Amino acid sequence: MTLASGELAVMFERELLGGFNPTRVSRLATRIYQQHGLELTPKMDGIILTLMAMEEGQSLN
């Protein structure tokens, strides 16, 4: 079963209620990938992998 894009959007909306935080977004993306990795469409997979890397990018700034 594929994870619906609307479900994915709701997960991120809930995480961002307190404001944008790249670390929180990255960690949520990692949890989603671990729990739903096989349910992601190829496009969603690429987006999630990009968001997972956001936390690593923080150390480069």
- Mean residue pLDDT of the chain comes to 89
Number of domains observed in the structure of the chain: 1
CA distances from 14 to 24, 33, 37, 52 (A): 11, 17, 20, 17
Structure tokens at 24: 């929180």
List, in order, residues 6 or more apart from 30 with CB less than 8 Å away.
Answer: 52
pLDDT digits (tens, 9 = 90+) for 18-41: 899 999 999 999 999 999 999 999
Start-to-end CA span in the chain (Å): 38
Q: Does the predicted TM-score (pTM) go above 0.75?
A: yes
Expressed as residue numbers, the domain containing 49 is 5-58
